[in-house]
Chain A
Amino acid sequence: MVHKNILRSIAVGLALSMGLIAVTSAQTLKIGVIAPLTGGGAPWGMAAAEGTKIAAAEINAKGGLEVGGKKYRIEVVPYDDQYKAADALAGYTRLVKQDGVKYMVTLTALAGMALKQNLEDDKVVALTAAFSTKMFDPNTKYLFRIYSIPADYLPSLVSWMKANRKERRIYLVNPNDETGWDHDQVSDKAFKSDGFEVLGRELYERTQKDFQPMFTKIIATKPDIIDLGSAPPATAGLMARQVRELGYKGVIVKTGAAAPKEVIAAAGKEAAEGMIGVLGVDPVNAGYQRIAAEYKKSVGQEPNEMILPIYDSIQVLVRAIQKAGDVNNTAKVAAAFAQALPMKSVQGEELALGGKKTIGVNQQIMTVAYVGVIKNGESVTVGKIK
């Protein structure tokens, strides 16, 4: 009896050890994240870090990523760049030199522009959310943008507005930085090309909160559309409220990412009524709601919409790694994006590889966007654009 118990214990112990060996023998694939985890850009940065972690956790829960017959546990290594180029560079150096990372998210235009050449020289595959068209040139091989940018979807949005609205006199407003300048130029071209009259273009400081002097000037030009461009959502809400207080009754559109909940919270229901925005997500989509729920469980807040393209792009990345069959050969992985796509996003829309028309190289995951109109404090999807 005693012998049987001992033998049984030994058998169980051996089985557990085998399991432990199997788990610990799964190798680790690190994915770095360089994003603003604190400061004004934190809503996007946190979405980037958590979106990557959620995707990684799902893959790990299924036993890991299988590449070339081996299993890899994905580990996410985030660094806070505080929306500063110098900090992004410091984070990159740590990731590549100390942590041995070959795959990363470099979220912002500041980080991307600072690291552009490093990524190519070190052959690090990176995913960026930066809107700037200057991020890419014909020699870009390792950097991929995670979604369509205004240069891709704006012509389609402008056509939608021409078909669905009668207003034609527009004033463009954007932040005074790389993203804002880019958006300003793209918007100006898109609206003018489709017969809209651009009355003026204003660039404001990102830290600004008092927009009454600016809108006093803008209202004097009698626009019937004011485009808030790439304003952060809370700022866009403030702007909507302040321009309505000054008596503006025309259309407010936000041709950059909309994040309607934050806009409505800052503007108030009345000022936000009728505001048109471009949505990266369909808020009632089950796939998006699943990811958002995971984020809320982890962070305790609703996520920024950035979480969705980040999550999708990680899925594209791991698929490209699998297609390449080698986690260490990043050149092969970068080339394998063309085999990984097209694929379905978590929302069920098609993701494709593109970008040649707007950035000169096929280094962009082309996504579908939605037109939303705020009605009675809620964003209602009224169209789809790509």
Chain B
Amino acid sequence: MIEQIFVNGVLASLIYVIMALGFTLIFGIMRIVNFAHGEFYMIGAVIVLFFFGTLGWPFFIAVAAGGMVSAILGVVVERVLFRPLVGDELSGMIMSLAVGIILQSVVLIAIGPAEQSAARPFTGTWHLFGAVVPWDRTVVALCALATLAVFYLFLKFSRLGLAMQAVAQDPQTASLMGIESGVVYAAAFGIAGLLAGLAGGLMAPIYTVGPYMGELPMLKAFVVVILGGLGSIPGAVMGGLLIGLSESVLTTFLDSTAALIASFVIVLLVVVTRPTGLMGKSVR
């Protein structure tokens, strides 16, 4: 049973990490808490439901399409709605809540309220040291790891990635150095949308798809990011693993309510003892 608990926890953690990365990226660069992040996840899932489930496109093409649609949506909302609110955390939060509700309502009108099931591209299970590992979750885990690696390399070695880090550290100095902050903001929202859309697309066949499916992943991403530190990528990874594994242990030995309470107790303790999170930087 211990092996199963560990596998369950790691598989859950990886999706939390991908969700948290985009969320923390936007905050790190624009100081905006994007509560619509869960809806970008949902849009990715809906795109896969339609293209893969209904039209029969190849699964990974549909997932890529879901990511791209969420990315484009991210760029559009950033330019039109969030750009004027950079640095204004409260207004950014309120705007993101409004965007989230609008997206939920649009999808509700489009597909109805009922949770829908997408066809499953991968079925069956394999065994890892006595633990049962479903193939569909294995694929998600591998994609999540690949995404994490690409994202890390992008941030560390690409011009845009380095520019994003510079703007996150000090936007004024970055601007003096010739970095166009508008491009960076749009890229941040686009990449965050892409990450959330990919996560949603990958998870679409594993769970059910509905207009409100983004609420819980959004909450998990929020918890992970608070734990790891707003704006910290390594913090998001650490927070994701901590939450995923603790939930798995507590749900198995106690129940899911205890796991939920524990996640927030952990967040509470971290906020009280280390307000910037386990690996976060102090607010400028």
User: Using a CB–CB distance below 8 Å, which chain A residues touch chain B?
Assistant: 37-40, 42-43, 45-46, 176, 202-205, 207-210, 212-214, 216-217, 220, 232, 234-235, 237-238, 245-247, 262, 265-266, 268, 299-301, 304
Contacts and interface: CB of A to CB of B under 8 A. Distances in A.
A301 B112 contact: yes
Given A213-B252, A246-B132, A266 B260 contact: no
B115 interface: yes
Given A42-B114, A268-B120, A209 B208 contact: yes
B39 interface: no
Name the 8 nearest CB pairs between A and B, nearest first: A42-B113, A213-B251, A234-B115, A209-B207, A265-B117, A266-B117, A234-B208, A217-B252
Contacts of B260: 205
5 contacts: A40-B113, A208-B256, A210-B207, A216-B252, A265-B116
Contacts, number: 100
Contact of A43 (B114, B213, B215, B216): B114
Contacts of B113: 37-40, 42-43, 45-46
Nearest to B108: A38
A301 B114 contact: yes
B257 interface: yes
A228 B56 CA distance: 32
A234 B252 contact: no
B152 interface: no
B1 interface: yes
Contact of A216 (B5, B11, B212): B5
Contacts of A205: 256-257, 260
B156 to A, nearest CB: 32
B131 to A, nearest CB: 9
Interface in B186-210: 207-208, 210
Contact of B248 (A213, A220, A232, A247): A213
Given A209-B208, A234-B114, 19 more contacts: A40-B113, A43-B113, A45-B113, A203-B257, A204-B255, A204-B257, A207-B216, A208-B256, A209-B207, A213-B248, A216-B1, A216-B4, A216-B8, A217-B253, A220-B1, A234-B115, A238-B208, A266-B117, A299-B112
Interface of B: 1, 4-5, 8-9, 11-12, 105, 108, 112-117, 120, 123, 125, 132, 134, 207-208, 210, 212-213, 215-216, 247-248, 251-253, 255-257, 259-260
B1 A210 contact: no
A272 to B, nearest CB: 11
A205 B215 CA distance: 13
A46 to B, nearest CB: 7
Nearest to A262: B114
A266 to B, nearest CB: 4
Contacts of B108: 38, 42
A38 B105 CA distance: 9
A215 to B, nearest CB: 9
B28 to A, nearest CB: 27
Nearest to A237: B117
A37 B1 CA distance: 42
B88 to A, nearest CB: 29
Contacts of B251: 213-214, 217
Contacts of B1: 216, 220
A214 B255 contact: yes
Contacts of B116: 234, 265
B216 A266 contact: no
Contacts of A301: 112, 114
Nearest to B113: A42
Could you say which of B9, B255, B260 has the most chain A C-beta atoms within 10 Å of its C-beta?
B255
B253 to A, nearest CB: 7
Nearest to A207: B216
B256 A234 contact: no
Nearest to B109: A38
A299 B111 CA distance: 11
Contacts of A247: 125, 132
A352 B114 CA distance: 32
Could you say which of A38, A46, A237, A268 has the most chain B C-beta atoms within 10 Å of its C-beta?
A38
B247 A238 contact: no
A204 B117 contact: no
A209 B15 CA distance: 13
B261 to A, nearest CB: 11
Contacts of B208: 209, 234-235, 237-238, 266
Contacts of A39: 113, 212
B262 to A, nearest CB: 13
A238 B207 contact: yes
A217 B8 CA distance: 12
A89 B30 CA distance: 40
